[in-house]
Protein backbone atom coordinates (compact mmCIF):
# COMPACT_ATOMS: atom_id res chain seq x y z
CA UNK A 1 0.00 0.00 0.00
CA UNK A 2 1.19 3.51 -0.78
CA UNK A 3 1.36 6.40 1.61
CA UNK A 4 -1.85 8.21 2.58
CA UNK A 5 -2.16 11.98 2.88
CA UNK A 6 -4.67 14.21 4.64
CA UNK A 7 -4.14 16.83 1.90
CA UNK A 8 -3.39 14.91 -1.31
CA UNK A 9 -2.41 17.12 -4.28
CA UNK A 10 -4.52 15.20 -6.82
CA UNK A 11 -6.81 17.54 -8.77
CA UNK A 12 -7.97 14.90 -11.26
CA UNK A 13 -7.66 11.15 -11.68
CA UNK A 14 -8.96 9.32 -14.75
CA UNK A 15 -9.08 5.70 -15.83
CA UNK A 16 -9.77 5.12 -19.53
CA UNK A 17 -10.77 1.98 -21.42
CA UNK A 18 -10.68 2.06 -25.22
CA UNK A 19 -12.18 -0.83 -27.16
CA UNK A 20 -10.91 -2.12 -30.52
CA UNK A 21 -12.41 -0.32 -33.50
CA UNK A 22 -14.02 -3.55 -34.74
CA UNK A 23 -15.89 -4.19 -31.47
CA UNK A 24 -19.64 -3.74 -31.45
CA UNK A 25 -20.88 -0.22 -30.79
CA UNK A 26 -23.97 1.81 -31.58
CA UNK A 27 -25.80 4.87 -30.30
CA UNK A 28 -27.90 2.85 -27.85
CA UNK A 29 -24.93 1.64 -25.78
CA UNK A 30 -24.40 4.78 -23.64
CA UNK A 31 -28.07 4.70 -22.68
CA UNK A 32 -27.89 1.02 -21.73
CA UNK A 33 -24.83 1.66 -19.58
CA UNK A 34 -26.53 4.65 -17.96
CA UNK A 35 -29.31 2.33 -16.78
CA UNK A 36 -26.67 0.31 -14.92
CA UNK A 37 -24.84 3.26 -13.33
CA UNK A 38 -27.60 5.85 -12.82
CA UNK A 39 -27.80 5.24 -9.06
CA UNK A 40 -24.24 6.58 -8.68
CA UNK A 41 -24.20 8.90 -11.71
CA UNK A 42 -27.76 10.24 -12.08
CA UNK A 43 -27.10 13.41 -14.12
CA UNK A 44 -26.70 13.26 -17.91
CA UNK A 45 -24.98 15.77 -20.22
CA UNK A 46 -23.56 15.84 -23.77
CA UNK A 47 -20.10 17.28 -24.42
CA UNK A 48 -18.14 17.94 -27.61
CA UNK A 49 -14.51 16.81 -27.41
CA UNK A 50 -11.63 17.53 -29.78
CA UNK A 51 -9.00 14.83 -30.23
CA UNK A 52 -5.65 15.29 -31.97
CA UNK A 53 -4.14 12.30 -33.76
CA UNK A 54 -0.55 12.39 -34.99
CA UNK A 55 0.63 10.25 -37.91
CA UNK A 56 4.13 9.87 -39.28
CA UNK A 57 4.56 9.85 -43.05
CA UNK A 58 7.25 10.53 -45.63
CA UNK A 59 6.11 14.15 -45.53
CA UNK A 60 6.65 14.39 -41.78
CA UNK A 61 4.26 14.45 -38.85
CA UNK A 62 0.64 15.09 -39.73
CA UNK A 63 -1.92 16.31 -37.19
CA UNK A 64 -5.55 15.35 -37.59
CA UNK A 65 -8.21 16.93 -35.38
CA UNK A 66 -11.46 15.04 -34.82
CA UNK A 67 -14.49 16.31 -32.96
CA UNK A 68 -16.70 13.74 -31.27
CA UNK A 69 -19.68 13.84 -28.95
CA UNK A 70 -19.56 12.19 -25.56
CA UNK A 71 -22.27 11.28 -23.13
CA UNK A 72 -21.30 12.34 -19.60
CA UNK A 73 -22.90 10.86 -16.48
CA UNK A 74 -22.23 12.82 -13.28
CA UNK A 75 -22.54 12.15 -9.56
CA UNK A 76 -24.72 14.42 -7.44
CA UNK A 77 -21.74 16.52 -6.32
CA UNK A 78 -20.33 16.55 -9.90
CA UNK A 79 -16.92 15.56 -8.55
CA UNK A 80 -17.03 12.17 -10.28
CA UNK A 81 -18.32 11.32 -13.75
CA UNK A 82 -18.24 8.82 -16.60
CA UNK A 83 -17.51 9.74 -20.20
CA UNK A 84 -18.89 7.59 -23.01
CA UNK A 85 -17.76 7.96 -26.61
CA UNK A 86 -17.45 5.60 -29.56
CA UNK A 87 -15.59 2.53 -28.22
CA UNK A 88 -14.57 4.53 -25.13
CA UNK A 89 -15.33 4.59 -21.41
CA UNK A 90 -13.52 6.95 -19.01
CA UNK A 91 -14.00 7.29 -15.26
CA UNK A 92 -13.02 10.71 -13.88
CA UNK A 93 -12.61 11.89 -10.31
CA UNK A 94 -11.97 15.51 -9.36
CA UNK A 95 -10.63 17.12 -6.19
CA UNK A 96 -11.10 16.20 -3.37
CA UNK A 97 -9.62 12.83 -4.31
CA UNK A 98 -11.33 10.11 -2.22
CA UNK A 99 -8.20 7.88 -2.12
CA UNK A 100 -7.77 4.71 -4.14
CA UNK A 101 -10.21 2.98 -1.80
CA UNK A 102 -12.88 5.41 -3.00
CA UNK A 103 -11.87 5.65 -6.68
CA UNK A 104 -11.26 1.97 -7.41
CA UNK A 105 -14.88 0.78 -6.86
CA UNK A 106 -16.14 3.42 -9.32
CA UNK A 107 -13.74 2.06 -11.95
CA UNK A 108 -14.79 -1.52 -11.26
CA UNK A 109 -18.52 -0.77 -11.36
CA UNK A 110 -18.25 1.25 -14.57
CA UNK A 111 -16.14 -1.41 -16.30
CA UNK A 112 -18.55 -4.17 -15.29
CA UNK A 113 -21.42 -2.09 -16.67
CA UNK A 114 -19.47 -1.89 -19.94
CA UNK A 115 -18.68 -5.61 -20.13
CA UNK A 116 -22.29 -6.50 -19.30
CA UNK A 117 -23.46 -4.33 -22.19
CA UNK A 118 -20.85 -4.75 -24.92
CA UNK A 119 -19.11 -7.89 -26.12
CA UNK A 120 -15.36 -7.56 -26.71
CA UNK A 121 -12.34 -9.76 -25.98
CA UNK A 122 -9.41 -7.35 -25.67
CA UNK A 123 -8.77 -3.65 -25.14
CA UNK A 124 -7.11 -1.30 -27.57
CA UNK A 125 -5.88 0.89 -24.73
CA UNK A 126 -6.09 1.22 -20.95
CA UNK A 127 -4.83 4.29 -19.14
CA UNK A 128 -4.59 5.51 -15.56
CA UNK A 129 -3.66 9.16 -15.13
CA UNK A 130 -3.12 11.35 -12.07
CA UNK A 131 -2.73 15.13 -12.31
CA UNK A 132 -1.31 16.71 -9.16
CA UNK A 133 -1.27 20.44 -8.43
CA UNK A 134 1.34 21.48 -5.90
CA UNK A 135 1.35 25.06 -4.59
CA UNK A 136 4.03 26.33 -2.23
CA UNK A 137 3.81 29.69 -0.39
CA UNK A 138 7.09 31.11 -1.68
CA UNK A 139 8.28 32.85 -4.84
CA UNK A 140 11.88 31.81 -4.30
CA UNK A 141 12.58 28.14 -3.65
CA UNK A 142 15.08 25.44 -4.53
CA UNK A 143 13.42 22.70 -6.57
CA UNK A 144 15.75 20.08 -5.13
CA UNK A 145 14.22 20.68 -1.69
CA UNK A 146 10.81 19.60 -2.97
CA UNK A 147 11.27 17.36 -6.02
CA UNK A 148 13.42 14.34 -6.83
CA UNK A 149 12.21 14.70 -10.44
CA UNK A 150 13.13 18.16 -11.74
CA UNK A 151 15.02 20.00 -14.50
CA UNK A 152 18.81 20.04 -14.34
CA UNK A 153 20.97 22.93 -15.49
CA UNK A 154 24.72 22.49 -15.75
CA UNK A 155 27.07 24.79 -13.85
CA UNK A 156 27.83 26.79 -17.00
CA UNK A 157 24.17 27.71 -17.51
CA UNK A 158 22.09 30.41 -15.79
CA UNK A 159 20.30 28.86 -12.81
CA UNK A 160 17.30 31.20 -12.74
CA UNK A 161 14.39 29.70 -14.74
CA UNK A 162 11.33 31.75 -15.64
CA UNK A 163 9.39 28.69 -16.83
CA UNK A 164 10.14 25.03 -17.38
CA UNK A 165 8.68 21.73 -18.47
CA UNK A 166 10.47 18.42 -17.97
CA UNK A 167 9.24 14.95 -18.84
CA UNK A 168 10.20 11.41 -19.68
CA UNK A 169 8.64 8.11 -20.77
CA UNK A 170 9.37 5.15 -18.49
CA UNK A 171 8.74 1.61 -19.82
CA UNK A 172 7.33 -1.22 -17.68
CA UNK A 173 6.56 -4.92 -18.05
CA UNK A 174 8.96 -5.52 -20.94
CA UNK A 175 7.70 -2.33 -22.62
CA UNK A 176 4.10 -3.52 -22.71
CA UNK A 177 3.23 -0.50 -20.57
CA UNK A 178 4.64 3.00 -20.28
CA UNK A 179 4.30 5.96 -17.95
CA UNK A 180 4.69 9.54 -19.07
CA UNK A 181 6.00 11.65 -16.17
CA UNK A 182 5.89 15.41 -16.57
CA UNK A 183 6.55 18.35 -14.25
CA UNK A 184 5.89 21.97 -15.18
CA UNK A 185 5.43 25.26 -13.38
CA UNK A 186 2.02 26.95 -13.65
CA UNK A 187 0.33 30.16 -12.57
CA UNK A 188 -0.34 30.00 -8.80
CA UNK A 189 -3.80 30.53 -7.35
CA UNK A 190 -2.47 32.75 -4.54
CA UNK A 191 -0.19 35.79 -5.10
CA UNK A 192 3.29 35.12 -3.78
CA UNK A 193 3.05 31.33 -4.25
CA UNK A 194 4.84 29.04 -6.67
CA UNK A 195 2.79 26.29 -8.31
CA UNK A 196 3.52 23.11 -10.26
CA UNK A 197 1.68 20.35 -12.09
CA UNK A 198 3.02 16.82 -11.69
CA UNK A 199 1.34 14.62 -14.30
CA UNK A 200 1.64 10.83 -14.19
CA UNK A 201 0.03 9.07 -17.17
CA UNK A 202 0.39 5.26 -17.15
CA UNK A 203 -0.95 3.43 -20.21
CA UNK A 204 -0.95 0.24 -22.23
CA UNK A 205 1.49 0.53 -25.16
CA UNK A 206 0.75 -2.75 -26.94
CA UNK A 207 -2.78 -2.69 -28.33
CA UNK A 208 -4.96 -5.65 -27.34
CA UNK A 209 -2.26 -7.15 -25.10
CA UNK A 210 -4.68 -7.35 -22.16
CA UNK A 211 -7.81 -9.58 -22.27
CA UNK A 212 -11.06 -8.28 -20.84
CA UNK A 213 -10.79 -10.49 -17.76
CA UNK A 214 -7.35 -9.05 -17.01
CA UNK A 215 -8.24 -5.36 -17.34
CA UNK A 216 -9.04 -4.62 -13.69
CA UNK A 217 -5.92 -6.45 -12.53
CA UNK A 218 -3.93 -4.28 -14.98
CA UNK A 219 -5.51 -1.16 -13.43
CA UNK A 220 -4.55 -2.30 -9.93
CA UNK A 221 -0.95 -2.91 -10.98
CA UNK A 222 -0.86 0.41 -12.84
CA UNK A 223 -1.98 2.19 -9.69
CA UNK A 224 0.81 0.56 -7.70
CA UNK A 225 3.36 1.78 -10.25
CA UNK A 226 1.90 5.29 -10.28
CA UNK A 227 2.04 5.46 -6.48
CA UNK A 228 5.67 4.35 -6.53
CA UNK A 229 6.56 6.91 -9.19
CA UNK A 230 4.76 9.70 -7.36
CA UNK A 231 6.68 8.97 -4.17
CA UNK A 232 9.88 8.85 -6.19
CA UNK A 233 9.19 12.31 -7.64
CA UNK A 234 8.67 14.17 -4.35
CA UNK A 235 10.79 14.91 -1.29
CA UNK A 236 10.15 14.48 2.41
CA UNK A 237 9.43 18.21 2.59
CA UNK A 238 6.46 17.82 0.24
CA UNK A 239 5.21 14.82 2.20
CA UNK A 240 5.08 17.10 5.22
CA UNK A 241 2.98 19.59 3.24
CA UNK A 242 0.58 16.85 2.18
CA UNK A 243 0.29 15.74 5.83
CA UNK A 244 1.18 12.09 5.59
CA UNK A 245 -1.16 9.90 7.62
CA UNK A 246 0.85 7.37 9.63
Domain extent at residue 48: 24-91+99-119
Look at residue 55 in the predicted model and tell me its pLDDT: 61
Tally of residues, the chain: 246
Are 7 and 44 contained in the same domain? Answer: no
Helix or strand or coil: residue 29? helix
Are 54 and 33 contained in the same domain? Answer: yes
| Count of domains forming the chain | 2
Are 67 and 173 contained in the same domain? Answer: no
Are 226 and 134 contained in the same domain? Answer: yes
Are 112 and 148 contained in the same domain? Answer: no
Are 7 and 32 contained in the same domain? Answer: no
Look at residue 47 in the predicted model and tell me its pLDDT: 83
Side by side, the strands of the sheet bearing 60-74 are 43-57, 60-74, 80-85, 88-94, 10-18, 125-136, 194-204, 177-186, 165-172
100-118 tens-digit pLDDT? 999 999 999 999 999 999 9
109-148 tens-digit pLDDT? 999 999 999 999 999 999 999 999 999 998 778 899 999 9
Are 160 and 246 contained in the same domain? Answer: yes
- pLDDT less than 50: residues of the chain: 1
Are 71 and 154 contained in the same domain? Answer: no
d(Cα 49, Cα 51) in Å, to the nearest integer?
6
The residues facing 17 across adjacent strands are 89, 126
Look at residue 56 in the predicted model and tell me its pLDDT: 59
Amino acid sequence: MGKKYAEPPVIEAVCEFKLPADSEWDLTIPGLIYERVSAEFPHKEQHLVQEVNMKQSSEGTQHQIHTSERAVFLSDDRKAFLQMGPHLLAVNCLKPYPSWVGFKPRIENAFRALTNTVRFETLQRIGLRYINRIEIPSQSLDLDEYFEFRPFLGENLPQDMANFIVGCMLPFNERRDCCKVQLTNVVPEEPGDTAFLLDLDYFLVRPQAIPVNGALEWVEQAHEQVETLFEGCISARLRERFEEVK
